[in-house]
Structure 1
Amino acid sequence: MDLIDRISRQFEDSAQTKLAAVEWMAAPIAQAVEMMTASLMNNGKILACGNGGSAADAQHFAAELLNRFEMERPPLAAVALTTDTSTLTSIANDYDFVQVFSKQVRALGQPGDVLLAISTSGNSPNVIDAIQAAHEREMHVVALTGKGGGRIGEMLSPTDVHLCVPADRTARIQEVHLLTLHCLCDGIDCLLLGVEE
């Protein structure tokens, strides 16, 4: 096996996946930026959840908003529902792992807030449960998925935004998810700060 050739193919495949995704995803990403910005400007917040690599993405996104992305601006209200081990383990132990995000959404979410629900397959039961809780709380949902969107794609309301990566390979989906999160951060900053370029 030629490792350099294999690594080169990984880079090429990643780049091709991103280029193929831009036509499919640019408009809904812009819609999600506008939704999130409107919520933040109305004293709302963004709650983010996911499992595994998607949990890390939820934390990454919340950190970029709460601290800063590439431009100086005031901190923005964003919470990753994946970080409080005491909360996560108590819910999983006392109830069910399916509820680890939904109970937090029911406690913290308010009408007009946004749930960023991340699942590469679109079928994560606890993310699905969180979306149901967000709908109950009259929150907006931005779903970041792949592989056709799975069950999440089927349950979103007409006012939700579905950012579905047109790919089936988990690694490629996750790479586009990270780029998408950076696009969301950049777009929010630009709208809030009035950047025209």
Structure 2
Amino acid sequence: MTRERKWILIIGAVLLLIGAVIRFIPAGGPGTKADSVSDKILEKYRAKAAERDALQHRLLEMERSLGRAEALLLSGGTPALAAVDIQNHLGGLAEKIGIHMERMQVLPVVEKEENAYVRIPVRMNVKCSAGQLRDILYSLETSDTLLTVTAVQVRRPVGASAGERLQVQITVAGLMKPAGGQPPK
């Protein structure tokens, strides 16, 4: 090895050693900037640990809320049984209000994603007055079962007088848990 190469190697080793010393030893000595940074990080983790109890309490409240909301879902193990629940509810509602239901049709089930809640739509055709329509919509809104009115179509028969009944088509949808019985994630 030549003398020139030895000097280059020695100078390179010294520079590497100086770089390591600068990297791992803080410039101001112990108790300076590096310690304050680690103290800040430690304080941040302590604050997160202190939030744990509050987060667990919030999780418990959310699970209770989910339980109450799922109690409003349609019962029945299959979409067909859930559709029967909606039909029975609508039939009882029509009887209570005093209107004649002309037709009821179960529409195709809507499943947007696997493991998502299943939407069961049912369409009913009735002839009713404006006041009875208001009563139907109010009863659906305040129902013990979570039912949503997804579409309403109101027509007055051609040549009908102001006092005649309206032809109304209402689409009502209810939700049920997915087939596995587990709520969506």
For the aligned pair, the TM-score class normalised by the smaller chain equals under 0.3
Structure with greater strand percent: 2
- Between 1 and 2, higher relative CO (CA 8 Å, sep ≥ 6) is seen in 1
Structure with greater helix percent: 1
Between structure 1 and structure 2, the one with the greater Rg is: 2
TM-score scaled to structure 2, two decimals?
0.25
